[in-house]
């Protein structure tokens, strides 16, 4: 039977959790992903499924006692090879709100040197009956390697400069909550696009949702081959469509959403930028520059922010900023994703009815 | 007296301009006669029926990593030369990036001793340019030449310091040794995992720009012209490098070059995609330095190979263990185990009409021999040819035979190839070194 997710009632008639885990109720027209490695494999309807379910999750999260047993008996391991506070905590909370068992492991790539390979580690976790492994790694592609060697769900929580799909999902969710349908909306990302896994995943997600995307940054921080003309005709679909702009005022003109990306000081040390000050002079998102955007524009930042570098403090805390919403929504979106990956949801129910 | 008669094959010997049905008779390890029905005159002989097959001089590889001593889990002299035999290679130039590296007489002699004991094919060692391949002090080129090296290289580690490279080139002229560079500027490619371009962008991997190769090729050519030395550019991979080498050769500089079968046939897309662009993977079996490049580079490379601007196909056979590949892409060891697939993969240029079979065989035989004057350096008369009196090294190939690449059945300990499961057309069916059969497929053995 179908009930609302509930924090206070667990009826015996509820779908047996163990049975549901053993036999995922997946249908071919619905959610079929076992892993969440990046949004490049997600259709618009896949993304809609997460965002719609995230609305229900957000409602649970806003309850006085945000706790439901939807993922009782489901084990989530956060395997973090790279330090992270916000993403790890966000996943921990997402799992716990849904009643899953969540374990966080700080792994080190030095274990590789000691002979414990990534493959060994994920196989070991699976042997201990982990259902999902949330993985953060400093090297691009690490979650892909893991996914090849286990049937646990692998969730990419950031792999090197490659992808960060749950951040992109929460960005999409936050944008959609604030402006509705994203079709035709102008979204501008400013900053270190070349090294940003957030930007890469956002580009796929925004393309799927029909937004027009402009990326803006100094030439040394823009990725190569992004312009369709930079790659052979047969590979046109191999990267999401995007406009590239090195001049921030031109980029922001008429924007519906402006997202500033974190600038890491390593970029200066690596000789990619003359100085943080020079970067701020040419690329800081300021109130003056935002005056060129759509008057109802939204301001976003995936965090952690360097106020005074990529974003001015007054606009970060200003009325257009939805940066804190992004953080709260991150938990809701990750709840939705864990739930979908658990196979405990009938895709037909993603309009809000969830079996517990 | 031992005699081997290879009957009725299509004998292709580019050095002698020969292409026709003939018998090849090898007596006591040397080519005795090549001609129609010559084999019939021989009474007591081992015989191979080569009807329908191509009989070529044994292939010569300028760029083989045998890994011994120091990394015997990746390859040994025995396993690497067995792989060479399977690939039709009868002579391999062993790279000095071993542990210890081949930067002293003792190290070179130990490789030669082991080769004497266990190698299936000829091993010609290559010495280091700098001591311990550290790029700081010149290795003793005279001592190395005396021990029998046929060239100098710091292997995968390019000599970064231009002044040191200048002196290495200058010094080498005294001993007539080519200085071979694997030309990627360490500063430009540092941390890079694959070709810099749209595929690296898609994967979020740090790139190795094509210009990282071209800048060093340009520098080395200028230094070779300054010193009058012989520079060999290993594993050319970009159109930019090709243009520089072509221009330098036209000016008369002593520049030679080789290219791998994989750089001629595979692009950087191989790292990320198999069938569609919807789904990516991180295929570390296609991780190799220099990296697989773009379609336009492949075209420039095959043009240069056809024109002779590139002298030789060399494998850059770089076997590594499965464990060193089945890890994070950034950590995975670069390299392709290439000896056993070299002919079949390079044959794609022939089946695509970009290269004649005769030119392909030229670039696998007399091309590399001339590039490094290997016959003179090794004292092996007629190496790379089937001239009477030449060493009795022969490759028998079936250019039409199709086969499937099965890495687990390689003779090489390195199963690392991006070609696993792929069909190749063109197969080495038997290999003869010094008149002795060192490899034959079941089909030939049964005859």
Pair (A128, A242) in one structural domain: no
For residue A182, being part of any structural domain is answered with yes
- Chain B residues interacting with chain A (CB cutoff of 8 angstroms): 196-207, 269, 273, 277-282, 294-295, 323, 326-331
pLDDT at A112: 52
The reply to whether A100 and A235 lie within a common domain is no
Choose the closest CB to B330 out of A139, A223, A226.
Answer: A139
Q: Which helix (H) or strand (E) element contains residue A215?
A: strand A212-216
Mean pLDDT of A249-266: 94
Compute the distance between CA of residue B415 and CA of residue A186 in angstroms, rounded to an integer. 49
Claim to verify: residue A105 and residue A63 sit in the same structural domain: yes
Count of Cβ atoms closer than 10 Å to residue B136 Cβ? 11
The encoded tokens of residue B229 equal 């030395």
Do A178 and B221 meet the contact criterion of CB atoms below 8 Å apart?
Answer: no
Q: Are A294 and A248 in contact (CB under 8 A)?
A: no
HEC sequence for B292-358 = CECHHHHHHHHHHHHHCCCCEECCCECCCCHHHHCCCCCCCCCCECCCCCHHHHHHHHHHCCCCCHH
Distance from CA of A231 to the nearest CA of B (A): 7
| Cβ within 8 Å, pair B197-A224 | yes
- Helix crossing, A44-61 with A165-179: angle to 10°? 80
Q: Using the beta-carbon criterion (under 8 Å), do A140 and B330 form an inter-chain contact?
A: yes
Amino acid B447: pLDDT: 59
Can you tell me the distance from the alpha carbon of A238 to that of B340, in angstroms, rounded to the nearest whole number?
33
**Structure token pair of residue A154:** 């692998």
Q: What is the mean pLDDT of residues B198-223?
A: 97
Kindly state the tokens that stand for B92.
């391999």
Same domain, A132 and A214: no
Together in a domain, A242 and A279: yes
pLDDT of A26 > 70? The answer is no
Residues of chain A contacting residue B200, judged by C-beta atoms under 8 Å apart: 224-225
DSSP track, B170-198:
HHHTTTT--EEE----HHHHTT--EESSH
Whether A4 maps to a domain, the answer reads no
Cβ–Cβ gap A225/B323 under 8 Å: no
Q: Are residue A181 and residue A306 in the same domain, yes or no?
A: yes
Clarify whether residues A272 and A193 are in a common domain: yes
- Same domain flag for A33 and A106: yes
Between B39 and B425, residue with greater pLDDT:
B425
- A127 and A266 belong to one structural domain: no
Rg for chain A (alpha carbons), in Å?
20
- For residue A172, give its domain range: 166-324
ipTM of the complex: 0.92
Q: Shortest Cα distance from B111 to chain A (angstroms)?
A: 30
CB contact under 8 A, B201 and A41: no
CB–CB contact A162 B205 (8 Å): yes
B130-183 residue pLDDT tens? 999 999 999 999 999 999 999 999 999 999 999 999 999 999 999 999 999 999
Strands A257-260 and B30-35: unpaired
Nearest to B37 by CA among B50, B49, B23, B27: B23
Share of chain B above pLDDT 90, in %: 96
A27 touches A347 (CB < 8 A): yes
Q: What is the pLDDT of residues B345-390, one digit of tens each?
A: 999 999 999 999 999 999 999 999 999 999 999 999 999 999 999 9
As a whole number of angstroms, the distance between CA B276 and CA B278 comes to 5
CATH of domain B58-378: 3.20.20.140
The whole-angstrom separation of Cα B3 and Cα A346 is 77
**Other Cβ atoms within 10 Å of A127 Cβ, number:** 10
Tell me the backbone φ, ψ of residue A80, rounded to 5 degrees. -110, 110
Contact: A238, B204; criterion CB under 8 Å: no
Residue with tokens 């696009």: A193
What is the total count of domains within chain A?
A: 2
* A162 contacts on B by Cβ (under 8 Å): 203-205
In whole angstroms, how far apart are CA B98 and each of B77, B83, B95, B102? 11, 18, 8, 7
Q: What pLDDT, on a 0 to 100 scale, did the predictor assign at position B443?
A: 75
pLDDT band (50, 70, 90) for residue B54? very high
> What is the pLDDT, as a whole number, of residue A10?
37
| Whole-number Å distance between alpha carbons of B118 and B112 | 10
Interface contact A232-B295, CB threshold 8 A: yes
Tell me the percentage of chain A whose pLDDT exceeds 70.
87
Say what the pLDDT of residue A230 is. 86
**Nearest CA to CA, how far is A139 from chain B (Å)?**
6
Say if domain B3-54+392-412+419-445 classifies as CATH 3.90.650.10.
Answer: no
User: Closest by alpha carbon to A21, among A128, A94, A127, A100?
Assistant: A100
Report the residue of A141, A215, A234, A235 to disrupt the B interface, i.e. the one with the largest count of B CBs within 10 Å.
Answer: A141
Contacts of A202 in chain B (CB under 8 A): none
pLDDT in tens, B4-35: 999 999 999 999 999 999 999 999 999 999 99
Contact between B347 and B425 under an 8 Å Cβ cutoff? The reply is yes
CB contact under 8 A, A223 and B197: no
Percent of all residues in chain B with a pLDDT value above 70, rounded to a whole number: 99
**Per-residue model confidence as pLDDT tens digits over A100-133:** 999 998 887 655 555 578 999 999 999 999 999 9
The secondary element (H helix, E strand) that includes residue B232 is strand B231-233
Per-residue pLDDT, averaged over A18-45, amounts to: 70
What CATH number has the domain bearing residue A301? Answer: 3.40.50.1370
Tell me whether residues A139 and B328 touch, CB distance under 8 A. Answer: yes
Question: What distance in Å separates the CA atoms of residue A161 and residue A155, rounded to the nearest whole number?
Answer: 16
pLDDT, chain A, mean: 87
| Region B202-225 average pLDDT | 97
**Strands A132-137 and A153-159, how do they pair?**
parallel
What is the residue whose two structure tokens read 């976790």? A125
Q: How far is B249 from chain A (nearest CA, A)?
A: 31
What pLDDT, on the 0 to 100 scale, is given for residue A12? 36
Q: How confident is the model at residue A17 (pLDDT cuts 50, 70, 90)?
A: very low
Q: Which of B282, B295, B326 has the CB atom closest to A119's CB atom? A: B326
Of the candidates B200, B278, B328, the beta carbon closest to that of A142 is on: B328
How many CB atoms are located within 10 Å of the residue B187 CB?
10
Of B197, B294, B329, the CB nearest to A140: B329
Interchain proximity B205–A141, CB inside 8 Å: yes
**Closest partner residue to A235 among B198, B328, B329, by Cβ?**
B198
Q: How far is CA A284 from the centre of its chain?
A: 23
Q: Do the Cβ atoms of B277 and A238 come within 8 Å? A: yes
**For residues B211 and B189, what is the distance between their CA atoms, to the nearest angstrom?**
9
Same domain flag for A146 and A21: yes
Residue A14 reports pLDDT greater than 80: no
The CA distance from A205 to A221, in Å, is: 21
Break chain B into its structural domains and give their ranges. 3-54+392-412+419-445, 58-378
Tell me whether residue A6 is in a domain: no
Taking residue A133's Cβ as centre, other Cβ atoms within 10 Å add up to 25
- pLDDT of B311-348, one tens digit each? 999 999 999 999 999 999 999 999 999 999 999 999 99
Asked if the structure places residue A140 within a domain, the reply is: yes
Residues A307 and A230 in one domain: yes
Q: What pLDDT shows up at residue A110?
A: 55
The rounded mean pLDDT for chain B is 96
Rg (CA), chain B: 21
CA distance B192 to chain A (A): 12
Residue pairs between chains A and B whose CB atoms are closer than 8 Å: 91
Token digits for B41?
């005159």
Nearest CA in chain A to B324: A117
Looking at the structure, tell me whether residues A153 and A268 fall in a common domain: no
Chain A residues within 8 Å of chain B (Cβ atoms): 38, 40-41, 109, 112, 117-119, 137, 139-142, 144-145, 159-163, 197, 200, 223-226, 230-232, 235, 237-239
């Amino acid at each position: 039977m179908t009930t609302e997710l509930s924090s206070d009632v667990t009826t015996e008639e509820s779908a047996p959790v163990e049975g549901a885990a053993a036999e995922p109720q997946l249908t071919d027209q619905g959610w079929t992903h076992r892993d969440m490695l990046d949004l490049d494999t997600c259709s618009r309807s896949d993304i809609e499924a997460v965002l719609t379910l995230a609305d229900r999750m957000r409602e649970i999260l806003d309850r006085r006692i945000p706790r439901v047993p939807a993922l009782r008996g489901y084990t989530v391991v956060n395997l973090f090879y790279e330090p992270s506070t916000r993403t790890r905590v966000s996943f921990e909370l997402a799992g716990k709100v849904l009643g899953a068992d969540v374990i966080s492991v700080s792994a080190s790539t030095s274990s590789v040197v000691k002979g414990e390979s990534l493959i060994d580690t994920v196989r070991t976790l699976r042997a201990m009956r982990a259902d999902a492994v949330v993985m953060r790694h400093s090297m691009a592609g690490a979650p892909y390697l893991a996914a090849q060697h286990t049937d646990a769900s692998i969730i990419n929580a950031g792999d090197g400069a490659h992808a960060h799909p749950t951040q992109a999902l929460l960005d999409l969710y936050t944008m959609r909550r604030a402006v509705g349908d994203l079709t035709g909306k102008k979204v501008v990302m400013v900053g270190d696009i070349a090294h940003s896994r957030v930007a890469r995943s956002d580009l796929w997600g925004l393309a799927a949702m029909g937004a027009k995307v402009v990326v803006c940054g100094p030439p040394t921080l823009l990725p190569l081959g992004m312009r369709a003309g930079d790659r052979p005709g047969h590979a046109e679909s191999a990267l999401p469509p995007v406009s590239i702009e090195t001049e921030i005022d031109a980029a922001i003109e008429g924007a519906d959403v402006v997202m500033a990306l974190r600038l890491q000081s390593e970029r200066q040390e690596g000789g990619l930028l003359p100085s943080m000050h020079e970067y701020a002079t040419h690329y800081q998102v300021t109130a003056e520059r935002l005056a060129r955007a759509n008057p109802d524009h939204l301001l976003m930042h995936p965090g952690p922010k360097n106020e005074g570098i990529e974003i001015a403090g007054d606009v970060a805390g200003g009325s257009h900023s939805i940066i804190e919403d992004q953080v709260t929504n991150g938990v809701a979106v990750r709840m939705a994703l864990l739930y979908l990956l658990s196979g405990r949801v009938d895709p037909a129910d993603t309009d809000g009815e969830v079996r517990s | 007296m031992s005699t081997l008669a290879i009957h009725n094959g299509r004998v292709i010997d580019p050095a002698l301009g020969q292409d026709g049905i003939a018998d090849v008779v090898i007596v006591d390890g040397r080519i005795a006669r090549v001609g129609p029905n010559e084999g019939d005159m021989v009474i007591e002989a081992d015989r191979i029926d080569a009807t329908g097959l191509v009989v070529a001089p044994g292939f010569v590889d300028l760029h083989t990593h045998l890994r011994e001593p120091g990394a015997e889990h990746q390859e040994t002299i025995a396993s690497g030369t067995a792989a060479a035999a399977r690939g039709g290679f009868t002579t391999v130039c062993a790279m000095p990036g071993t542990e210890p590296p081949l930067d002293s007489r003792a190290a070179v002699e130990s490789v030669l001793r082991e080769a004497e004991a266990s190698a299936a094919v000829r091993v010609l060692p290559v010495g280091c340019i700098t001591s311990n391949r550290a790029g700081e002090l010149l290795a003793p080129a005279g001592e190395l030449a005396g021990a029998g090296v046929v060239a100098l290289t710091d292997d995968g580690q390019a000599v970064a310091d231009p002044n040191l490279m200048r002196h290495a080139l200058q010094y080498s002229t005294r001993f007539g040794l080519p200085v071979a560079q694997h030309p990627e500027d360490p500063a430009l490619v540092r941390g890079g995992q694959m070709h810099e371009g749209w595929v690296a962008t898609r994967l979020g991997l740090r790139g190795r720009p094509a210009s990282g190769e071209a800048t060093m090729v340009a520098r080395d050519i200028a230094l070779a012209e300054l010193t009058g030395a012989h520079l060999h550019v290993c594993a050319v991979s970009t159109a930019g490098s090709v243009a520089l080498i072509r221009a330098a050769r036209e000016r008369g500089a002593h520049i030679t070059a080789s290219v791998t079968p994989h750089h001629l046939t595979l692009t950087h897309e191989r790292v990320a995609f198999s069938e569609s662009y919807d789904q990516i993977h991180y295929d570390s079996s296609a991780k190799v330095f220099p990296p697989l490049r773009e379609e336009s580079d492949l075209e420039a490379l095959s043009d240069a190979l056809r024109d002779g601007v590139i002298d030789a196909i060399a494998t850059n056979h770089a076997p590594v263990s499965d464990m060193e590949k089945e890890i994070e892409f950034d950590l995975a060891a670069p390299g392709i185990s290439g000896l056993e697939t070299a002919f079949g993969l390079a044959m794609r240029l022939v089946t695509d009409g970009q290269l004649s079979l005769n030119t392909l065989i030229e670039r696998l035989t007399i091309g590399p021999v001339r590039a490094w004057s290997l016959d003179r350096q090794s004292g092996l008369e007629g190496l790379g040819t089937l001239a009477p009196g030449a060493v009795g090294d022969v490759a028998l190939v079936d250019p039409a035979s199709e086969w499937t690449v099965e890495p687990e059945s390689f003779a090489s300990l390195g199963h690392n190839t991006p070609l696993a499961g792929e069909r190749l057309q063109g197969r080495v069916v038997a290999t003869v070194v010094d008149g002795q059969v060192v490899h034959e497929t079941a089909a030939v053995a049964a005859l």
